[in-house]
Each structure stands twice: as C-alpha cells, then as structure tokens.
Amino acid sequence: MTSEAKLTHELTDILGDLIGIPSTYPPGDTRKMCAYIRARFESAGYICETKSCAPSIDNLVARVGTGSPQFGFNCHIDTVEVGDLGDWLSDPFEAVKRNGAIYGLGANNCKGSTALHIWLGEEIMRRGGPKKGEVVFTFTGDEERLGPNGMRFLRESDALRPDFLLVGGPTQNELITEERGVLWLRITVTGRAAHGGDPQAGDNAILRMMRLVDHLRRVLEPRLEKRVNGEKRSTMNIGRIQGGHNVNVVPSSCWLEIDRRLLPEEDVCAAYDEVVEILADVNEPPESFSTEFLTGTNGFSPKKDGPGIAALAAAIEARRGLAPNFVNALAVSEGRYFADDEIEICNFGPGDGATSHAANEYVPLDQMVDAALILRDMVDRYLGF
C-alpha cells in the first residue's frame, strides 16, 4: 500500500466514525463527538479539556507545546438535521464511498475537516510534536445556529489566543482570508387587536411593520448598493416575519428578523445603530415598535503575507505546483469571534460549500488527501517538527 493509499484509508476510517455519531441541531448534542475526539487526542499525547457552558453542548480543546506562536485549529462538530430522509440515497449516519467521495450527513460540513484535523493532530505527535510554539486544536458545537456556546465561549474564556487561526471548512482547498461581518436584529411592533370584521376598530401591527420595512428599505438599500469591496457586497436580507394569531383578528403584534452582511471595514455596532436611526425617522408612534440586537460580529481581512498564511500558501503551491486562489466567503465562520484581535485567520479545507446542508452531502477523498498533506507541510513550515 502506498503512503497516499494508507492516508486515504486512515481518513476514511476516521470520517466514517464521525458520520456515525449524530450531532444534529436541534438539539446540537456534541457530547459523544467530543468524547470520541478527546480519546484520540489524549492517546496521542495532547493535554485535553472538555469545556461547556450549556447542557449537552461540549467543546474540546487539545493542546501541545508552549510559547509563541500559538497555532489554533478549529472545526465545528454539529450538523444540520437530516431533512427529508427520502431524498437520501443511503443512510445519512453511515459513511458510504462512491465515485471517489464519502457520503453522509456532515461529510462536507464539517466532519470532513474534523477527520482531517484529527489525523493531523496525531501526525504532528508521530513526528515528535512542534519544535517551537504551541498547537491548539478546538472542536466546537453551537455553530449551526450561530450560537454563543461554542467558539464564542472558548474565545471569551481564553481557552485559546492564537497568533494564527485555521478554520476547517469546505473551501475546495482554496484560501478564504477575508470574511464579511454579520448582524442579526429583530424589529418588534405592537398594535391593538379588534375583530377582523371591523378592522378600523383596531391598529394593525402587520401593516405598521410593512410601513417600517418599506421606509428602511427605501433609505438603507441605496446606501448598501454603494458599499462594495471587490466581489464583496454589504447586504440586507429580511429572513423571518411573524404576526397575528388568527385570520379573523386584527393583529396586535408582529416581529421581523433581518440578516445584515457587512464589509470587513464596517462595524457591527454602527450597522445596528444605522438601522435604529433610520427607523427613528419614520412616521410611527415611537412606543409602537422596538429593535433588538440578536447577534453580530465584525468581519476580518488580515494581510495575505503574514507568516501563517504565507506558510499555508507555500504548502499549497508545493503540493499543486500552482499558487493558491484566494476566494470570497458567502457564509461566516468561527473565525469571526477573533475578528477584533488583529490576528491571521484563514478558512481552508476539502469539499464544496455549495453542497453543504443538502441531502447526499459528500466530500471528495482526493481533496481530503491533498488537504492533509498540505496542512502537514504547513505546520512544518510554521512551527517545525
């Protein structure tokens, strides 16, 4: 068996184990996943700690070495739900190999990269550990709902303070070094209930919401059209709305949630304040509506010639014979919690993000092998073995 064939077999086995451990959100239970990963890292010689601030959402931190620089790795280990089981060609909790890929729930997002990081962690120790600095592997839950109990919790509890953070995810082994910020906010409107047969006797909260949103769009959308940086755009999406409780009742309440994506140079708090200021100028009673900041983080755009990104780019070029591509991110990653720390952040891993969260999710094995060899070379270039 060739070395790459052996590597393929090892990665396939690890990924098969991971797919067989359900970690769907909801409920987002990552305890069994963390237990499996912790056993492997402890056997390899890492100092491990399972950290949690919410029931059933475990996060694992595994470290080796001391001092600077600190090289942080991250993969989220929760997945979305199966969806319609009839759309799957095989059991979503069983890894199936076909057409040179591994199929199963989370194979692409993000258990493929998790398997890769487990192999890499063990490989680092097989080669004697880092010659300098510290390596910290993190495996986190609560990502699929953009929740606070995963990487945000680790960041706030000082579980890691990386100089370079590599987030595993489906980038087709290209580099994502820039990421837009994200803001989620809610607008809540109140009115006065009345019988649906006499709407004039009430104060329709849904109609008030429509007036508020129409005003917000007319003012904000022309501004956003001018906020462009290369292929990145500042955007607003009205994602959810709910109002009323019965069709024959004038609705007394309505709420709506907005997703704002921000250019790296925009500030998330300023973006929220901008919405509040626009709505304050609408011709509605101030006490009839309110806004709420749900969650949000700034974007990031580190220098592409920093030591960590440069080492990864060199490793990619050595493996492929071609310089890497720097691509734009559509979604957000766990790197966002370190956006204000002025560190190097990069998303890198096998798989195509466009196939995430879909039935018959898969990750190509050749990309997993390439990513494993690239990351091993990168660690050697950055810290040495």
* In 234-330, alpha helices (H): 268-280, 307-320
* 290 and 304 share one domain: no
The last residue of a domain, from among 276, 297, 318: 297
* 291 and 304 share one domain: no
Please tell me the total count of domains within the chain.
Answer: 2
Q: 3: Cβ–Cβ under 8 A, 6 or more apart, which residues?
A: none
Average pLDDT, integer, range 127-149: 96
Backbone torsions φ then ψ of 303, nearest 5 degrees:
-65, 140
Backbone torsions φ then ψ of 144, nearest 5 degrees:
-65, -15
322 pLDDT higher than 90: yes
Q: Residue 355's pLDDT is what?
A: 84
Average pLDDT, integer, range 213-240: 97
Please indicate whether residue 275 or residue 385 has the higher confidence score (pLDDT).
275
Q: Residue 356's pLDDT is what?
A: 86
For 209, other C-beta atoms within 10 Å of its C-beta total 23
The last residue of a domain, from among 297, 325, 341: 297
Average pLDDT, integer, range 196-213: 97
Q: Residue 153's pLDDT is what?
A: 98
Q: Residue 207's pLDDT is what?
A: 98
Residue type, 285: P
Backbone torsions φ then ψ of 270, nearest 5 degrees:
-65, -35
Query: What CATH number does the domain containing 145 carry?
Result: 3.40.630.10
373 pLDDT higher than 80: yes
Contact between 344 and 308 (Cβ < 8 Å)? yes
pLDDT confidence tier of residue 202, bands split at 50, 70 and 90:
very high
Q: Residue 2's pLDDT is what?
A: 81
* 26 and 155 share one domain: yes
89 pLDDT higher than 80: yes
325 pLDDT higher than 80: yes
* 312 and 292 share one domain: no
**What token pair was written down for 267?**
């500030």
Query: What CATH number does the domain containing 193 carry?
Result: 3.30.70.360
Q: Residue 303's pLDDT is what?
A: 87
Average pLDDT, integer, range 134-146: 96
* 171 and 315 share one domain: yes
pLDDT confidence tier of residue 343, bands split at 50, 70 and 90:
very high
247: which DSSP letter?
T
* 244 and 363 share one domain: no
The last residue of a domain, from among 248, 276, 297: 297
* 42 and 126 share one domain: yes
**194, exposed or middle or buried, with CB in 10 Å at 0-12, 13-18, 19+?**
middle
Residue 299's nearest CA partner among 259, 330, 339, 245 is 339
Average pLDDT, integer, range 89-108: 96
Structural domain including 229 reads 181-297
Q: Residue 330's pLDDT is what?
A: 81
* 214 and 241 share one domain: yes
* 214 and 146 share one domain: no
**156, exposed or middle or buried, with CB in 10 Å at 0-12, 13-18, 19+?**
exposed
